[in-house]
Amino acid sequence: MRIDLHAHSNVSDGTETPAGVMESAAEAGLDAVALTDHDSTDGWAQAAAAARAKGVAFVPGMEISCRTELGISVHLLSYLHDPAHPGLLEEINKSRDARLTRAERMVTLLSEDYPLTWDDVIHHVAPGATVGRPHIADALVAAGVVADRSEAFASILTSHSRYFVQHYAPDPAIAVELVRAAGGVPVFAHPVAASRGRIVGEQTYREMIDAGLLGLEIDHRDNPEEGRAFLRRLAARHDLLITGSSDYHGTGKPNLLGENVTDPGVLARIEELATGCTVVR
């Protein structure tokens, strides 16, 4: 059994449709795949239908943007939550609205130095999708400013860049509570990915665990080995589930479906713990 629990479609910053991600998962030889778009579950219905047609098990998921009081970005994966839970919906809608305003502000700043307009960016965003820096990167690629998204993130779009603007995002412990309230299984995404920016300290882990965190995404290409050893000790101490996943974004990132996988026993445990919805088989 090959199970990948982290993939994005063009409902956020992936480059394939939700159905396209399911087709790619079947081609990659996966038995089960989760769709975890940023702050959105809009791709679930299309993914479920395509996964059934391809004989791949579909795990409904989402990746919630969060930020600690120290301003550190945290991504929280949620599996099998109720997509209509009012409290959780309110938070992700707030984040998505804030992401739009923030992207517009970043484009205003960028347009002072680069040939870039808001229309150029919107051109790369599917209708209703969660807007992120990757879409700004796509417009910069189209304008010939950078070669690809990775180059954009290594330079113009880093969180240290003078063009970077933050957006509203809930505190990670609050997000964990909301996921649990919605019957979902919260898993801390790529927790020690220092290449993406500052990483959280012990207090944030403690708050998230106290709030009901159930798992850690340890096998992810952005987690360095020494950080993984720390995470394994933490998982053992607090009886947390361990997942491994690709964080596939289509052609938007080098990450390949199935490059990391999750143990079938862990998916079985996620299904036992969740009450919000079920895996589509």
Binding site for ligand AMP (CB under 6 A): 13, 38, 65, 132-134, 149-150, 153, 249, 252-253
The b/e string for 23-47 (b: 16+ C-beta within 10 A; e otherwise) is bbbbebebbbbbbbbbbbbbbbebb
Residue 124 binds which of ligand AMP, Fe ion, Zn ion, none (CB < 5-8 A, kind-dependent): none
Indicate the pairing of strand 3-4 with strand 32-35. parallel
Minimum Å gap between C-beta 112 and Fe ion is 26
Other beta carbons within 10 angstroms of residue 111's beta carbon come to 14
Tokens of 60: 């409904």
Cβ distance to Zn ion smaller for residue 116 or 244: 244
67 binds Fe ion (CB under 5 A): no
Minimum Å gap between C-beta 45 and ligand AMP is 23
Stretch in the footprint of Fe ion (CB under 5 A) among 20-28, 117-125, 137-145, 182-190: 182-190
Stretch in the footprint of Zn ion (CB under 5 A) among 13-21, 43-51, 63-71, 263-271: 63-71
| CA 118/CA 109 separation, integer angstroms | 11
**Per-residue H/E/C for 185-228:** EEEECCCCCHHHCCCCCHHHHHHHHHHCCCEEEEECCCCCHHHH
| CA 170/CA 178 separation, integer angstroms | 10
| Amino acid, single-letter form, for residue 220 | H
Minimum Å gap between C-beta 180 and ligand AMP is 23
Give the position of tokens 């982290």.
6
Residue 150 binds which of ligand AMP, Fe ion, Zn ion, none (CB < 5-8 A, kind-dependent): ligand AMP
**Are 171 and 70 a contacting pair, CB within 8 Å?**
no
Cβ distance to Fe ion smaller for residue 49 or 174: 174
**Are 39 and 96 a contacting pair, CB within 8 Å?**
yes
Minimum Å gap between C-beta 13 and ligand AMP is 5
Minimum Å gap between C-beta 276 and Fe ion is 21
Cβ distance to Zn ion smaller for residue 99 or 116: 99
Cβ distance to Zn ion smaller for residue 180 or 220: 220
| CA 45/CA 265 separation, integer angstroms | 26
Cβ distance to Zn ion smaller for residue 116 or 136: 136
Cβ distance to ligand AMP smaller for residue 129 or 173: 129
Cβ distance to ligand AMP smaller for residue 132 or 184: 132
Residue 204 binds which of Zn ion, Fe ion, ligand AMP, none (CB < 5-8 A, kind-dependent): none
Taking CB under 5 A as the criterion, the residue among 3, 11, 13, 220 binding Fe ion is 13
DSSP assignments along 92-127, one per residue: HHHHHHHHHHHHHHHHHHHTTTSS--HHHHHTTS-T
Give the position of tokens 């690709």.
246
Minimum Å gap between C-beta 112 and Zn ion is 30
247 binds Zn ion (CB under 5 A): yes
- Which residue sits closest to ligand AMP, CB atoms considered? 132
Sites of contact with Fe ion (CB under 5 A): 13, 75, 189
Sites of contact with Zn ion (CB under 5 A): 63, 247
